[in-house]
Chains A and B, each alone.
Chain A
Amino acid sequence: MTQGSLAPSESPALSPGPLSGPQPANLGDILERVLDKGIVIAGDIRVNLLDIELLTIKLRLVIASLDTASQVGINWWKADPWLSADAANGSDKRALEEENRQLRSRVRALESRSRHDG
């Protein structure tokens, strides 16, 4: 698997201005549609694409986007109800994991203090 295989065929110019016309679909555009969209019917092979650890894909298409977007303050679309539930769940999950981690460390601190006291 190479980094190059995900490189977009379309690279936006950095200067604003009118478009020359529709551009060919890049792999990112295709993947987000064929993996996440389209009608889901139960075939004879049960492959839940979201259960499979499509780490590279999910990391690049969803999680990395969310994190990066939040870091630079690009998160207005988070309030949009049409944001994929998956993405929303992912971000809730990270928040929970972070809270969980903090609580664990507080419990450890309290436990060690009570051992000292006792």
Chain B
Amino acid sequence: MTAERGWVWMYGVAGDDLGALADGMAGVGGGPPRTITAAGLTAIVGDVGDREYGEVALRRNLEDLDWLARTARAHHAVLAAAAERGPVVPMRLATLFASDAGVTDTLQDRAGDFRRALSVISARSEWGVKAYAVKPADPVADPGRLASGPGAAYLQRRRAELSASSDARSEALASAQAVYAELGRLAASARLYPPQAPDLAGPSAPMVLNAAYLVSDDQATEFTAAVSELAARHRSVQLALTGPWPAYSFAGQGDGPGPR
């Protein structure tokens, strides 16, 4: 039996002070992450096999939602563990090299970019803040006073419902904008994502804000307290805080729009 050809999966890049990775951690493909050092930088990588991660297999697998979910979680878990030890520039999913030499070349060629990105995210973390519109309470029916017949009663009730839901929606949107702006004052940088689709966000609560903030670690307590305070003040939305995340949204120029 011949050995399967392998690829080097790149999770992210840290400075030269990352230290040892946790023992016994399983990365993408089940193997443990390891490090490659060059140009004063540390690449966090792992070894994966061609049968699952070669170019053809990868294209097919990326369209398999279960495979993608598993891989995304594994990629994220390694980055999250590394980010606890210091700044890490996360690579987009599926950054693969034929050998360690390719990784070393990349560290050397892009050393300036990586250092700049590391300096932006150093001692900072990403936090996610989402807001969901709170469904308005059903308008109270008052059949005695309102309606002269079942048809008119229905129309009256429907009008009240529509107007209540439209008021609630504008209020939720205004709250979302206020929350976004106010939290921005406590962050080094902020970005908006499109709201997640209802089947991700939950069917009855449309998402009205999906934001990411880069927050200095010594302001993290202030930031999370501000989220709680805003949640108490803005009753038309339910806020959800996630984080701290590795600085996915603020780590560098992709081929999409970069961070502020």
Contacts and interface: CB of A to CB of B under 8 A. Distances in A.
Interface of A: 1-3, 5-6, 8, 10-19, 21-41, 43-47, 49, 52-57, 59-62, 64-66, 68-69, 72-74, 76-77, 80-87
B98 A44 contact: yes
B76 A33 contact: yes
Given A12-B205, A39-B90, A31 B72 contact: yes
Contacts of B188: none
Most buried by A among B58, B92, B133, B173: B92
Given A37-B249, A39-B117, A57-B65, A15 B134 contact: yes
Given A16-B238, A37-B254, A60-B197, A44 B102 contact: yes
A55 B64 CA distance: 10
Contacts of A43: 10, 94-97, 102, 106
A86 B256 contact: yes
Given A16-B238, A41-B95, A43-B96, A34 B75 contact: yes
B147 interface: no
Nearest to B117: A39
B231 A34 contact: no
A38 B93 CA distance: 8
Contact of A30 (B76, B92, B117): B76
Majority secondary structure of chain B interface residues (helix, strand, loop or mixed): mixed
Interface of B: 7, 10, 12-13, 54-55, 58-59, 62-66, 68-69, 72-73, 75-76, 89-98, 102, 106, 110, 113, 117, 127-128, 130, 132-135, 169, 173, 176-177, 190-202, 204-209, 224, 227-229, 231-232, 234-245, 248-249, 251-257, 260
Contacts of A65: 194-197, 207
Pick the 10 closest A-B CB pairs, nearest first.
A39-B252, A33-B248, A64-B197, A28-B200, A38-B92, A40-B254, A37-B248, A38-B90, A45-B96, A16-B235
A17 B194 contact: no
